[in-house]
Amino acid sequence: MSLLTSLIQASTRFQQSLENRPAANGTEQQRATGTGNTEATQPTSPGDDRFTPSGDSIDDANRLKSQKLPLSDYKQTVGQDLAFIRETLRHKLAEYNLNPATAVSVNKSESGEIEVGGKLPEETRAQIEKDLNVNKNFSDAFSRLSVNEPTLHFMDNALKLNQAYGVNNSLLDTIISENQQFNGLQDLVHRYDTLRRSAPSAPFEASGNRGAYAFNLNTRA
């Protein structure tokens, strides 16, 4: 091999090495950049991602819970007692030859006795009152109605506001159980009455809570 040929080959190899160096450096830089990006975008472990329910999520859960209430079943149960009490009083008006449109009110005294009010002759009023107090079916139906109807009225209004305006009632959310098996009418009545007795009266007054319950026949009250 001549000296000229050796010099040409050496020059060629040197030039090729210069041309290949930036590509190698670029590859190394790209690898380094890629590694950095991988580290930057690496997902955190499940323990690092703590989920906190938002207010909307809680409202949606409560709305779904309240929508599962069998309100129509509750109304049917309460309606049976309402019909029985209404018919009993109408029969009493007929029995004592009173105008069937006579306004009559019924409530219970602090001692638990049935009291009858209205524009009735005193002797007739006292006799009707006596009849109703010895009528166990009437007394039991009135006792149930005195707690069931106000609770149902509260729930019905709360659900209507929820459906119309999307407003949740915190009191309703409190008395509804997550387990639908414990959302029978008597379960809800018990929890509502327990809260009513133990909590300040303001929230219940705002929810339309009743004071002393009274049934009114032939009146708008």
pLDDT tens for the chain, 221 residues: list them.
554 455 456 556 655 555 555 544 555 555 545 544 444 445 544 444 444 555 555 566 666 678 889 999 999 999 999 999 999 999 999 999 999 999 999 999 999 999 999 999 999 999 999 999 999 999 999 999 999 999 999 999 999 988 888 888 888 999 999 898 999 999 999 999 888 888 655 555 544 444 589 999 998 64
Instruction: Enter the pTM of the model.
Output: 0.67
Instruction: Please give the C-alpha separations between residue 115 and each of 81, 99, 120, 133, 134, in angstroms, as whole numbers.
Output: 18, 20, 13, 9, 12
Task: Give CA–CA dist 200/6, Å, rounded.
Answer: 105
Nearest residue to 106 (alpha-carbon basis) of 114, 96, 98: 114
Q: What residues form DSSP beta bridges with 215? A: 106
